[in-house]
Structure formats: C-alpha cells, structure tokens
Chain A
Amino acid sequence: MTIDMTQFHGVFFEESFEGLEIMESELLELVLNDPDIEAINKIFRAAHSIKGGSGSFGFTDVTNFTHVLETLLDEVRAGKHKLIQDEVNLLLTSVDCLRDMLSASRDGNDIDKENVQSIQNDLERVLGNDSPNETSSEKDNKENGNSNENVQTVSDWGIDFLPHINLFQTGNDPLRMFRELEEFGELTAEVNISKLPHFDEYDVEESYLSWSLLLKTDASEDKIKEVFEWVEDDCDLTIGIIKKQETIEVENESDKSPEAGVATGERRKSEDRRKATDRRGTASSESTSIRVNTDKIDALINMVGELVITQSMLSQFSEDFDVGNIDKLCDGLKQLERNTRELQENVMQIRMLPISFSFNRFPRLVHDLSSKLNKKIELKLTGEATELDKTVMEKIGDPMVHLVRNSIDHGIEMPEERLAAGKPETGVLHLNAYHEGGNIVIDIEDDGAGLNKERILQKAKERGLVKEDEVLSDDKINELVFRAGFSTAEQVSDVSGRGVGMDVVRRNIHDLGGVVEIKSEEGKGSTFTIRLPLTLAILDGQLIRVGNHTYIIPLVSIIESLQTSRDHTKSIAGDAELYRLRDEYIPVVRLHSVFNIQCDSKKLDDGLLVVVEAEGHKVGLFVDDLLAQQQVVIKSLETNFQKVEGVSGATILGDGTVAMILDVSSLIRLSREQSYYEKSPVLNIQAA
C-alpha cells in the first residue's frame, strides 16, 4: 500500500508551529525555583509530538534535533535535572531553531546545519554528554552493516512456549503468533494439555495450554523473538536451534552492476526534487488556509438548513398565490431576512480567530527586550479569547509590536528610577482586548513614566511641527507623537527605532479602518487604545445622495450631520470655504465638484453638511440628502476596475445599483491638495 505522505505535511507543520508556541510560552512562564510539573509536561509533550511527527513524515534533521531536546526535557520531567536560567534561554533558542528548521522544510529551503549543530552541541553539553552524538546517517550505516549478511541459513528451530495463566488478559492470542511464525517457514505445533482443568473449574478467560513448536526457517533468532515480543513477560519461552540444515549464498546488493546503482541514484535525486516542489506547493496553499472550529461549521450548516426550509415555504406561496396569504408571505420574508442576517454573521464567524494568536508573541518579546534593557516588566494579557477577523489580525500584528516596544523602551522606567518614584520595581505592561459597539478594542497600557508633555511640545516646536506661541490641549500634545519624524527618546536605541514608526503605526491602523488614541498621565503611565472594525469585508455605512448618485460614508468617520446656514460659512481666497462649527473652522468639501457631477443645488443652505474626521482632521462634506444607514459588503474597486482617488470601494445596494464607498482620509488629502488650507493661517484660528 503506497500512501502519499506529503498530504499530511500541512497539518504536521501547523500543529508543530502551535507546539513551538506552547513550548515558548510555557518556558517563559517557568518559575525556576519551583517549576510547575504540568508546564514541564506540556513542553515535553510538544517536543515529543514534533519528534514523532517529523520521524513519521521523514524530516530526519528535525527528528535528530528534537531527540536531544526531548532527552533533556525528559530528565527535567523526571526530576533528574534542575534547569537554570541559561538553560531556559538555550531551550528558547532551540525553539527558534526548530521553528527555522520546520519553516525551511516546509518551504523546501536548506536548513542552516551549522547553527543546528552548534545548538545541539550546547544541549548535549547540558546533558553532560560532551561528545556530540553520532549522526543518524552513521547510525544507519551501522545498522545496515549488521543486517547486511550475504549468507542466510535455514535451520530447524525448537520453540517451547508456555503462556502464563493471564496471557489473554492483555488481548494477546497464541493463534495469531503462530500464524505470524508460519509466514517465516514451515511450522509444526504440538499442544500440551496437561494443565487443562476439569470442566467444572475451567475459566474461559485463563490460558491453560502450552506448545512445543518446530519451525523450519531462514529467519534470524531476533525475528522469531520479535513475534513473542509483546508476551515476553507473560510466558516462559525457550528458543533454540535443533539442526542447521543448509546454507544458501545470497547475492549481495552492492555486487550489482554499477549502471543499476547510477540509475537508482538518479532516480532518487529526481524524486527529491519532486518532493521539494510538492512541499512548496503545500506551503503556498497552506498560507491561505484557515482552521475553523467545527462548532462554527455546524452552526453554518444548521443555518443553511433553516434557509432551505424558508425558501421552500416561500416557493409554495408563489405556486398558488392568494391575497389572503399576504400575512404569511410577510412572515416568510421576515424569516428570510433573519436567516440571511444570521447566515451572514455565521459566515463572518468563520474568519474570526481569537486574538491570542496575536498576543502569543508578546511574552517572548517582553522577556527578550526587558532582559536586554535590564528592566523588570510583568506582562499581563487579558481578553485573549476576543475574536477578530483573520486579515485584520495579520495586519495589526506589526503596529502592536511597535507600540509594545515603545512602551517598554520609552514608557517603563529602569527599576531604580521606579523605586525612587515610589513605584514597585517591576513595571506592568497590560494588553487587553475586548469588544465594544461592533468594534474590537485593544489597550496597551503601561504604568511607566507617561508622556512628558513639555518635552514633546518643546521638541515639536524645535522641529517646526508647532508654532512657537501656539497653545495646545493635552490631547493635541499627545497626538504629536504620531506625527512623522518625531522622537523624544534621549538616545536613539535599537529597540524602538528612530522615531520613524509612530506615524506609520497610525497610518497602518487607519488603513484597517481603525483609530489609535493615547491617554497619558505623567508619572502614572500611558495607554494606547486601538479601535478596529471586526471585519474588513463589511462596513456600517451612511448612505448619502448627491444629485441622482448615492454614496456611502463609513459610519465610524462621521461625527455629526447638520444643516448649514450661510452666516456660518466663510469664503477665503476664492474657491475655499470654511464652515464655523461651534469653536472651530472646518473646510467644506463639495462632493459634486470632487466627482464632477450634477447636484440639486449648489447653495449650502439647501443641502446638508456631514462632518467627518480622519487622521485628526475634520472636514464637512456637502451633500444633498442623507438616506438610510445600513451594512454594506465591500467590493474592491482595484481588483474589479482601478484605484479611484477619494473612493475606497464599491457596493451593491438592495435595488441592484452600484454605490461608491467614500474614502474619507483621501477626500481630506484631496481637499488639501486642491486648495491651501494647510498654509492658511485661518485653519488654526480658535474662535473666540
């Protein structure tokens, strides 16, 4: 039976990477003085599974490496070896090394053998085994050497097999062993029934018989013993040669013609190549796969079932429609609406993963960074089960890492500074995720020094980001750290970079339709709050009308909508208009002129102003009318048509027409390019 083992590789890699994550997080939490035995067991089990799997699927390098790792872990588990911090670090390095090896195997790349060997040597040193193990190929050779006999002897073997009375209790059966022996050669069996009790005392679950066997075979004693391997302790067994019969010369494999050898070599090479390509194939298909909890699939199937029932109910009405049934029809349609909504929710659920997938990397990051910076930091993770869209999760990873690095580097102080400030020596970094009103919120909170507002303001003035005599609110000052080219760290470190980043962080989060805010109190700490939509595929939108066109504005961007009056509007330098919104002036963007379409009226008094905000800037979008609010499915314009400035995508409305979804930040940028609000001093006017 030949089975293509590569089909299991995808799952093997997936579970191995999960196993490595478990190892890493358990290692990081290990208390050396009093290690939790269940934690050690978990680490051991993970290594053990990787070894078992890699062996079965033919990743020998991984097996050999994991073997040494497992041996060490087994000693720790058995209490024979007590780990010290350096060894934990070595184990963490081994985890990294395994991750690299597995990635390389998955992608069909070469393994960095030197690195692997040096870590393996370190592990062996810890094991008290200074001489590195013989490599597996050496072992193979030795084994081959032993079994590669070119002379086989057929002998008569006498086997006395006296099972103990409890033989059947382990599910073994002498008959099956005899059948196995028969495969080796000619077998004759003589049964001894002397121990068979009287019928009254006979217990069917006990074994009373014993056998004398005669086997004529060329098989070795080891082979014969192997048949009885499982019952060794449940029987008395003697095996011996009664008579050597004949000797047969067997042609040795290596004596075959050299051409044959070359051919095999060639074949093997091409097979290897094929395997490598196969692996690459698996890797690329795997990168787009997603693991879904079966409960979610069951819920989905359940929903589809209900949908089918509703559909058949509705189709019945159409067959013989009667006006008297209109109520039932309405009920049916309502049911259909509910089914559709639930189906949509369930389908969305499939893309949802717990944020722990993203949080998992932080224990290691915090461990490594804090030891590098000699800071003491405790990482607290809460809300790890909060689910969010896979794509959002993949894209939020880097901004989160940046914010965490930033908190560790700039936020949390050195232990001595903390003590001097009357704080506990160990700083706390808290990552918290939760759902709030259709959004997922991630808080990154530290109890460090907080933002130094004076220094930020001073720096911003030095860099010309803020005017010398400008007065800014606290929130506005905090906002400054997100401006491009801003860094207040006294020394640029390799931990959180050179001040390129916070602006990138904000842009990345904006690209996901999210926002990031800072709250900070000097001396007490800072909290960065990331607010993200649950999914990128669906958007809560406000439908608006300009002439006979419908557009959609993402609801998250809208601050308010209002009727305008000419009194509150100022025209400056020709085209540009500013609207006085309570104590500030905001630019007015006329959608009809942006998209060059007909509108009902160009007079601001006749239409409405929708105030939207993006990247800290507000503008008023001038529209004819507000329509409904609804969830819309986003269709990409770029893949279906081309990128259009001011539009982030399109959707299909209930009546089948296509509506454009407005890209608020690009509209704001557009409005600034066209006019000169930025340069205009009026923009910063604080109304009296």
Chain B
Amino acid sequence: MATILTVDDSASMRQMVNFTLKGAGYDVIEAIDGVDALNKAKGSNPDAVLTDVNMPNMDGITLIQELRKLPSYRHTPMLMLTTESSGDMKSKGKSAGATGWLVKPFNPDQLLATIKKVIA
C-alpha cells in the first residue's frame, strides 16, 4: 500500500489526517514541521507528501522546494494544506514545485478524494 508523508505543526490536524489516511489503508509517516519532514524524507520513500503551509522552523513551501532538490523526490506528488485560498499562496506553492493543494477546512472524504487524485 502507498505511503504518505504528512507534515503539520498542529497535533489535532495531524491526528485527523493520519487517522483518516490509515483508516483508508495508507501507511503514514508523520512530521511536525518542515525540518522534521526533510529529515524523515531522507530516510524513506513515500508515494506522496501532504504538508501544511504555515509552520515554525520551516514552512511547507520551503519544504517542497527542498524536497524537489532531492533526486528521489523529483516526481513525487506533493500537496499543500492551506487555509489561504488566495491565488497568491497557490502560485507560490506551484513555483516551489507543489503538485496541488487542499484548502482547509476539509473533511476526511475531501482529503481522501484529493489523495486519490495523485496516487493512482
């Protein structure tokens, strides 16, 4: 089954996202911010990355930028979780290499539908 790296500084969002994904049969690697995620990414090979944008230490957009520099992450689907539905944040994410985004608030069904879009 596919593995997803999820990154969020909020424990409740992390719980909700991970519970949903695990319930749908995905394996989950959890990280609490960009720095943590980057470290964990180096030792694993997830099929997709799902990251919050606003985080301490390293934000989600920088994380995506950094991940894209790693050879094994050049084509990995990377999704941003963001409350900003503004075009500004999306285009920033896109130019950093994000595959797409999921706008908060979302429910478990929306989350799974979005994940299905990138993991065939």
A residues bordering B, Cβ < 8 Å? 1, 3, 5, 7-9, 11-12, 14-15, 42, 44-45, 48-49, 51-57, 63, 168-173, 175-176, 179-180, 205, 229-230, 233-234
Interchain residue pairs A-B with the least CB separation, the first 7 = A55-B105, A230-B100, A12-B12, A171-B99, A171-B77, A56-B105, A11-B12
A1 touches B20 (CB 8 A): yes
A44 to B23, CA, bound (A): 32
Question: Which residues of A sit under 8 angstroms from B20, Cβ to Cβ?
Answer: 1, 3
* Shortest beta-carbon distance from B64 to chain A in Å: 9
Q: Which of A11, A170, A175 contacts B94 (CB 8 A)?
A: A170
> 1/0 per residue B49-91: CB within 8 Å of A?
0001011100000000000100000111110010100000001
Question: Which residues of A sit under 8 angstroms from B54, Cβ to Cβ?
Answer: 44-45, 48-49
Nearest neighbor of B55 in chain A, beta-carbon distance:
A45
A173 to B118, CA, bound (A): 8
Q: Which of A3, A169, A175 contacts B97 (CB 8 A)?
A: A169
A1 touches B11 (CB 8 A): no
With an 8 A cutoff between CB atoms, is B2 at the interface?
no
Nearest neighbor of A291 in chain B, beta-carbon distance:
B11
With an 8 A cutoff between CB atoms, is B1 at the interface?
no
Can you list 6 A-B pairs with a CB-CB distance of less than 8 A?
A: A8-B12, A49-B54, A63-B105, A168-B75, A169-B74, A230-B99
Q: How many A-B residue pairs have CB under 8 A?
A: 99
A86 to B3, CA, bound (A): 49
Question: Which residues of B sit under 8 angstroms from A49, Cβ to Cβ?
Answer: 9-10, 13, 54
Q: Which of B15, B104, B112 contacts A55 (CB 8 A)?
A: B104
Question: Which residues of A sit under 8 angstroms from B120, Cβ to Cβ?
Answer: 173, 175-176, 179
B117 touches A176 (CB 8 A): yes
A205 to B118, CA, bound (A): 17
B29-64 contacts to A, CB under 8 A, are 52, 54-56
Question: Which residues of A sit under 8 angstroms from B52, Cβ to Cβ?
Answer: 52
Question: Which residues of B sit under 8 angstroms from A54, Cβ to Cβ?
Answer: 105
Question: Which residues of A sit under 8 angstroms from B91, Cβ to Cβ?
Answer: 233
Question: Which residues of B sit under 8 angstroms from A56, Cβ to Cβ?
Answer: 13, 16, 104-107
Given A1-B109, A52-B105, are A171 and B19 neighbors across the interface (CB < 8 Å)? no
A233 to B96, CA, bound (A): 13
Nearest neighbor of A229 in chain B, beta-carbon distance:
B100
Question: Which residues of A sit under 8 angstroms from B78, Cβ to Cβ?
Answer: 170-171
A52 touches B83 (CB 8 A): yes
* Shortest beta-carbon distance from A29 to chain B in Å: 17
Q: Which of A7, A172, A175, A205 contacts B99 (CB 8 A)?
A: A172
A171 touches B105 (CB 8 A): no
Given A171-B118, A173-B120, are A53 and B112 neighbors across the interface (CB < 8 Å)? no
Highest count of chain B CB atoms <10 Å: which of A3, A9, A229, A233: A3
Question: Which residues of A sit under 8 angstroms from B15, Cβ to Cβ?
Answer: 8, 11
B100 touches A11 (CB 8 A): no
B75 touches A15 (CB 8 A): no
B23 touches A1 (CB 8 A): yes
A52 touches B104 (CB 8 A): yes
Extra contacts besides A52-B81, A229-B100 (16): CB < 8 Å: A1-B24, A3-B19, A3-B108, A8-B12, A14-B11, A15-B12, A45-B9, A49-B13, A52-B10, A52-B13, A54-B105, A56-B13, A57-B16, A169-B97, A170-B94, A170-B97
* Shortest beta-carbon distance from A55 to chain B in Å: 3
A3 to B15, CA, bound (A): 12
Question: Which residues of A sit under 8 angstroms from B19, Cβ to Cβ?
Answer: 3, 7-8
* Shortest beta-carbon distance from A677 to chain B in Å: 58
Question: Which residues of A sit under 8 angstroms from B56, Cβ to Cβ?
Answer: 42, 45
A302 to B11, CA, bound (A): 26
Given A168-B75, A171-B78, A229-B100, are A11 and B11 neighbors across the interface (CB < 8 Å)? yes
* Shortest beta-carbon distance from A65 to chain B in Å: 14
B76 touches A171 (CB 8 A): yes
Question: Which residues of B sit under 8 angstroms from A12, Cβ to Cβ?
Answer: 12
Given A1-B23, A1-B108, are A57 and B94 neighbors across the interface (CB < 8 Å)? no
A540 to B68, CA, bound (A): 59
* Shortest beta-carbon distance from B25 to chain A in Å: 11
Highest count of chain B CB atoms <10 Å: which of A5, A53, A168, A170: A170
B10 touches A180 (CB 8 A): no
A56 to B19, CA, bound (A): 14
A55 to B107, CA, bound (A): 10
Question: Which residues of A sit under 8 angstroms from B7, Cβ to Cβ?
Answer: none
With an 8 A cutoff between CB atoms, is B4 at the interface?
no
* Shortest beta-carbon distance from A53 to chain B in Å: 5
Question: Which residues of A sit under 8 angstroms from B13, Cβ to Cβ?
Answer: 49, 52-53, 56
Question: Which residues of A sit under 8 angstroms from B107, Cβ to Cβ?
Answer: 56
A233 touches B12 (CB 8 A): no
Nearest neighbor of B106 in chain A, beta-carbon distance:
A56
